[in-house]
Amino acid sequence: MTNWEELEGRCQTCQRCALADTRTHVVFGAGQKDAEIMFIGEGPGENEDLQGEPFVGRGGQLLDDMLSLIGLYRDTNFYIANIVKCRPPRNRDPLNTEQDACIGYLREQIALVGPKIIVCLGRIAANRLIHDDYKITREHGQWVEKDSIWYTAIYHPAALLRDPGKKPETFVDLRAIREKVRQVCPRTY
């Protein structure tokens, strides 16, 4: 198995897809590297590309605020990354070919972190990590266990900014995440 330094080095110089040509920074991931819970988005936006950090724009601020309500903080008890590590132009969805090229890095990160829980942020991540053809409107908040990891998905923070009417459902999901953390993550709280 790899180590963090070697893995990040490979990501920083990656040329596996055309997103390498337009990126400012590779957005590797951030947070506590031995956390019991991981959050996974789809790919960097403009602010993330400029700063090299995941979820640092308006959506990221909303996410951090919401997670603080259930006692989760990226500096102390969760790790956050994306399905693709480079920004898709004009924030379009990452292509399947781009996801295929990049997902191996995320799988290595997951193996290094060793989380008990993975929370997908939005449909794209849920499609990749939970199952094909995931319907976020219908399936958010549901739990599936695969290879001893509990998976769920919540609405992407950008979707909550576009449609604040979805926030109450997300707060229900967040309370369920807090409960699952209490059950399966003895080191988190």
Inter-helix orientation angle 4-12/96-113, to 10°: 160
Query: Which residues, 6+ apart, have CB-to-CB distance to 112 below 8 Å?
Result: 1, 2, 3, 4, 7, 33
Q: Which is nearer to ligand URA, 91 or 142 (CB)?
A: 91
In the complex, the smallest distance separating the C-beta of residue 43 from ligand URA, rounded to whole angstroms, is 6
In the complex, the smallest distance separating the C-beta of residue 115 from ligand URA, rounded to whole angstroms, is 18
Q: Quick one: 107 exposed, middle or buried, by C-beta within 10 A (0-12, 13-18, 19+)?
A: exposed
Q: Which is nearer to ligand URA, 57 or 141 (CB)?
A: 57
In the complex, the smallest distance separating the C-beta of residue 67 from ligand URA, rounded to whole angstroms, is 14
Q: Which is nearer to ligand URA, 55 or 150 (CB)?
A: 55
Phi and psi (nearest 5°) for 107? -60, -35
In the complex, the smallest distance separating the C-beta of residue 41 from ligand URA, rounded to whole angstroms, is 3
Query: Which residues, 6+ apart, have CB-to-CB distance to 104 below 8 Å?
Result: none
Q: Which residues bind ligand URA (CB under 6 A)?
A: 27, 41-45, 48, 54-55, 59, 82
Q: Which is nearer to ligand URA, 68 or 183 (CB)?
A: 68
